[in-house]
Homo-oligomer: A and B are copies of this chain.
Amino acid sequence: MILVIKNGTVITMNEKRKEKYEKLDIVITDDTITSVEENYQGPYDKIIDASNKIVLPGLINCHTHLGMSIFRATNDNLTLQDWLHKKIWPIESLMTDEDIYYTTLLSCLEMIKTGTTTSNDMYFGINGSLKAIKETKIRSVFSRFLIGNMDPSSLEKIEEFRNLVIENQGNDLLTFTVTPHSLYTCNQEYLEKCQEIASEFNLPIHIHYCENLSEVEEIKKNYHKLPAEVLQELGYFKQKLILAHGTFISEEEQELLSKFDVSIVTNPVSNLNLGCGIADLVSYQKNGINVCLGTDGQGSGNNLNMFYHMSLVDQLQKAKYQDPTVMQSYDVLKMATINGAKALNLDHKIGSIEEGKKADLVILDLNSTEIYPTIDLINQVVHNVESNNVDTTIINGQILMKNHQFSFEIDESELVKNIDRITSHLMSEKK
């Protein structure tokens, strides 16, 4: 099956290519990009006309909790710790796998509609969420989040994760990370257990890290060490390591982190909403640390629309430094594509549009008068795209959405009914 995307203005994010944002044809054979060239004249089974449209690599959301869609925009007026303890965790404790199937399904639709093709997910209720992920055929870096202190239930979680990995080998759309919740919600022995299983399966570790100042202080108090030194002591640098948030990382720790295969996932919206602050991404990048982008869950991140989250990244750095030259739109687009792929150990497969990579693509239609005209293409893509500009989403060569219509069977009104039922049930139970 040969699919050709014709005549789009292509932003390849291919580092080997001098980007000219020219009209190119993208040839996809089954799941793989087999050619990126001008005016392709070879055979094809299907054509998508992308004239007057923009084609870019599918966006990669490097930190999220897909099951949290029902907590959308509920974070007003609460600190991270209060929000978790008083609002989120009491309700989460009531959620069933079936609930999480529906809440994750809603998130998967949100991602497809907003051009995200890969997510790095960390949640529980994995039977439910995995079902939703498989049904919608998004690319997923998946996990079962691990929290505890070696009590039986926390060890069960590790067993649950082990079985998950063993039972789901060989799925091209599914890879795994080990996800201890954080240095302050797990004890040392449990964190070490997490390292062991990461080592056993040679998987990256994905962990919440230094999200706000009080977390940093708590870790220092518990370990009498800097947080990055704790990571080292735990052996976490033996694995590929994905640090979610990293809002506060000292210069000294940045130097340490830069020596290993560590990526920082910035979650700017969540960090603002929860009053955490603005991470010093300019410094992280200067120190050679790979920076990528996440939305966090919708509770603190408002939504999973990576375009919305992208628009803030360079803006916040410009304000932090009171200097508009410290970061450009193109840097942000890298974070949301190729840098994310690197963080997730998937840069041989995704993150850019080039021969040999899997066909994860987004087609944008920017011809809406409310954002007309486009003079600086990259600036416009990073700052002015809304969900209704996302025309087509392709994952692994499969067209999941075209002209804003899903290509698979999904009854959105039925899903909404289920979400309403779950929401009203959970909210009333909590009272």
- A residues contacting B by CB (< 8 A) are 69-79, 106, 109-110, 113-114, 212-213, 269, 271-278, 302-303, 305, 311-312, 314-316, 318-319, 321-326, 328-329, 367-376, 378-380, 383-384, 386-388, 412, 415-416, 419-420, 423, 427
Contacts and interface: CB of A to CB of B under 8 A. Distances in A.
A103 to B, nearest CB: 10
Nearest to A318: B275
27 contacts: A71-B375, A72-B374, A72-B380, A72-B384, A73-B379, A73-B383, A73-B384, A74-B375, A76-B314, A76-B324, A76-B329, A76-B376, A77-B324, A79-B325, A269-B315, A272-B316, A274-B318, A275-B323, A276-B319, A278-B319, A302-B383, A302-B384, A367-B416, A372-B416, A373-B423, A375-B423, A387-B388
Nearest to A388: B388
Given A325-B77, A384-B303, A369 B274 contact: no
Given A272-B318, A273-B324, 15 more contacts: A69-B373, A73-B374, A73-B383, A73-B384, A74-B379, A76-B378, A78-B325, A109-B369, A212-B322, A273-B318, A277-B319, A277-B322, A302-B384, A303-B370, A370-B387
Best-buried of A72, A109, A423 by chain B (most CB within 10 Å)? A72
Contacts of A379: 73-76
Nearest to A412: B369
Report the 6 A-B pairs with minimum CB-CB distance, sorted nearest first: A275-B324, A272-B315, A275-B318, A388-B388, A386-B386, A73-B379
A54 to B, nearest CB: 14
Contacts of A305: 370
A386 B384 contact: no
B213 A369 contact: no
Contacts of A277: 319, 322
Contacts of A109: 369-370
Stoichiometry, copies per complex: 2
A367 B417 CA distance: 12
A416 B369 contact: yes
B315 A369 contact: no
Contacts of A79: 323-325
Nearest to A316: B272
A369 B106 contact: yes
Given A274-B318, A318-B273, A388-B386, A328 B373 contact: no
B322 A275 contact: yes
A79 B323 CA distance: 7
A212 B325 CA distance: 15
Contacts of A274: 318, 324
Given A274-B324, A302-B384, A73 B316 contact: no
Contacts of A75: 324, 379
Q: Considering residues A69, A113, A311, A423, which has the most beta carbons from chain B within 10 angstroms of its beta carbon?
A: A311
A369 B77 CA distance: 25
